[in-house]
Structure 1
Amino acid sequence: MDNMRQYREAIQKIYGKNDYWIVPIFRSLFSMFLLFSLNRYLGMTGKTGNPLVILVLGLLSFFLPFSFVPCLAGLYLLYYFYTKSLLLLGIGGLFFVLIFIIQSSVRGKYAILIAAMPLCFFLGIPYFLPLLVGLSMGLSAVLSLSLGILVYYFLQFIREYKEQFILSGDLLDQFEGLSKKMAPLLHNKEMIGMFVLFTLAALAIYIIRNFSFNYSWIIALITGICVEGLVFFVLPFLSVKMNIGLSLLSYLFSILFSVIALFFFRDADYRGTEFVQFEDDAYYYYVKAIPKNKA
């Protein structure tokens, strides 16, 4: 454990000294990987499927803030929708405008979660991000996380039913059956179950970790893990088919990653807890001091 703490301290020092170039490089690589994953997931062809386009857009994000990455991905998707169907473009445009309006009501720095959540689904570790959000981010990040869940299931809907938006060449005919086309998305029980449980898990961790009792962060993480574990009971109850083996493996990997994240964010030695009191001309101060574990 002491060796791990030494590695952690070394990583933190390297990042502290070189974050001015590590962050832009990470942002650029993240954008490229996100766009490549969208490309593969939706089976894009033509200009949108050109690796050179993904490379150029990824390099562009090197100079832009993290909050622009979801906008970049949205524009990329809208162009793909345009190449397939005007109706698909209209539906995608309205959906993304709604997401933008909701996200604009909170802090923009968490907008990256709108892109990161679908990427976690693509990578098969969707359980991890709600745990990380609860451990390391603010309350408004939960909203961005929830929007990211909706974006993933919207993309899943487009992937499965996009042919229904392409077959008819008459735009009026397509609009007439729009409600029937959108029914699978609006009645998606898996989306509702995952949305509720993941949001509750992130909220539970955030609320509990902000209490001052000993081991609050550990208890918060355990609570979030248990809430996410309800997926294995709720989805079958809703008659949703799921691959138990793969889902359980994803769940266990997410727990492992979240424990590592907790080690980086909150490695405290509660045995050395002290209570300190002091005052100035205006206030009395009662401070609870918890030392960090050192190598």
Structure 2
Amino acid sequence: METLRQYRENLQKIYGKNDYWMVPIFRSLFSMTFLFFLSRYLQMTGKLGNPMVILSLGLLSFFLPFSFVPCLSGIFLLYYFYTQSILLLGVGALFFVFIFIIQSSVRGKYAILIAAMPLCFFFRIPYFLPLLMGLTMGLSAVISLDLGILVYYFLRYIREYKDKFSTGGDLVEQLDAFSGNLAPFIKNKELFLVLLLFTLAALAIFVIRNFSFNYSFETALAIGLCLESTAFILYPAVGMKMNLTGELLSFLLSAVLSIVALFFWHDADYRGTEFVQFEDDAYYYHVKAVPKKKA
């Protein structure tokens, strides 16, 4: 364990000295990865499926903030919708305007979660991001997390029903077909169950980790994992099918990743806890000081 802490401290020192170029590189790699999986997930062809186009858009992200990545992805998707049909473009535009309006009400730095959540689904570790959000981010990040979940299930809906938006038919016929096939998205029980469980897990972790008792972060993570694990009970209870082996592996991998994240962000030595009191002209201060574990 001491060796791992030494590696962690070395990594933190490297990041502290080189974050001015490491962060833009990570942003570019994240953007390219997300756009690549989008193109493969929706089976895009032509220019949108060209690796050089994805590479160029990813490099563009190098010079722009993290909040730009979801905007770039939205433009990318809208162009794809345009190549499919005007109806699909209109539906996609309305959906993304809704996402933009909701996201604009919270801090912009959390907008990256709108892209990160679908990417976690693509990597089959969706349980991880709510845990990470609860451990490391602010309360308003829950909204961006939920928007990311909505985006993923919207993309899944488009992938399954994009033939209903075919350019071959009349617009009126497409509208009729669309209205008749909108129910699978609006009444998607899995969508609402995932929204509920992931939101509860993220909120529970955020609230509990802000208490001052010892091992609050560890307790918060354990409770968050317990809340997410109820999916294995609730899925069959509401009549939904589940690939038990795949979901269990996904859950366990997410748990391991969240423990690693906890090790990097909050590795406290509660045995060395001290209580300090001091005052100034206006206040008395009672401070609980918990040292970090060092290698």
Pairwise same-fold verdict (TM > 0.5): yes
Aligned-partner SS, 2:287: strand
Contact 1:27 1:66 in 2 (8 A): yes
1:122 aligned onto 2:86: no
The 5 Å alignment of 1:1-295 reads: 1-166=1-166, 168-295=168-295
- Measure how far apart 1:168 and its partner are: 4.8
Distance 1:201 1:179 in 2: 34
TM-score by length of 2: 0.99
The 3 A distance-change label for structure 1 pair 58 and 67 is same
Contact 1:168 1:174 in 2 (8 A): no
Contact 2:135 2:205 in 1 (8 A): yes
Q: Report runs of 4+ in structure 1 exceeding 2 Å deviation.
A: 176-179
Aligned-partner SS, 1:294: coil
Distance 2:247 2:167 in 1: 34
Q: Which AA in structure 1 matches 2:53? A: V
Distance 2:85 2:177 in 1: 15
Contact 2:135 2:209 in 1 (8 A): yes
Aligned-partner SS, 1:232: helix
Distance 2:215 2:180 in 1: 50
- Measure how far apart 1:238 and its partner are: 1.4
**Alpha-carbon RMSD:** 0.8
Deviates more, 1:276-285 or 1:31-40: 276-285
Q: Which AA in structure 1 matches 2:80? A: Y
Distance 1:180 1:289 in 2: 60
Q: Deviations over 1:39-74 (max 9, x none)?
A: 111100111111111011001011010000000001
Aligned-partner SS, 1:87: helix
- Measure how far apart 1:178 and its partner are: 3.0
Contact 2:150 2:191 in 1 (8 A): yes
Q: Deviations over 1:135-164 (max 9, x none)?
A: 000001111000000000000000011011
- Measure how far apart 1:167 and its partner are: 6.0
Q: Which AA in structure 2 matches 1:91? A: V
Q: Which AA in structure 2 matches 1:234? A: L
Deviates more, 1:179-188 or 1:131-140: 179-188
Distance 1:38 1:246 in 2: 22
Aligned-partner SS, 2:113: helix
- Measure how far apart 1:134 and its partner are: 0.2
Q: Deviations over 1:226-261 (max 9, x none)?
A: 000011111111111110000000000000000000
Aligned-partner SS, 2:135: helix
- Measure how far apart 1:177 and its partner are: 3.6
Contact 2:85 2:167 in 1 (8 A): no
Q: Deviations over 1:244-288 (max 9, x none)?
A: 000000000000000000001110011111111111111111011
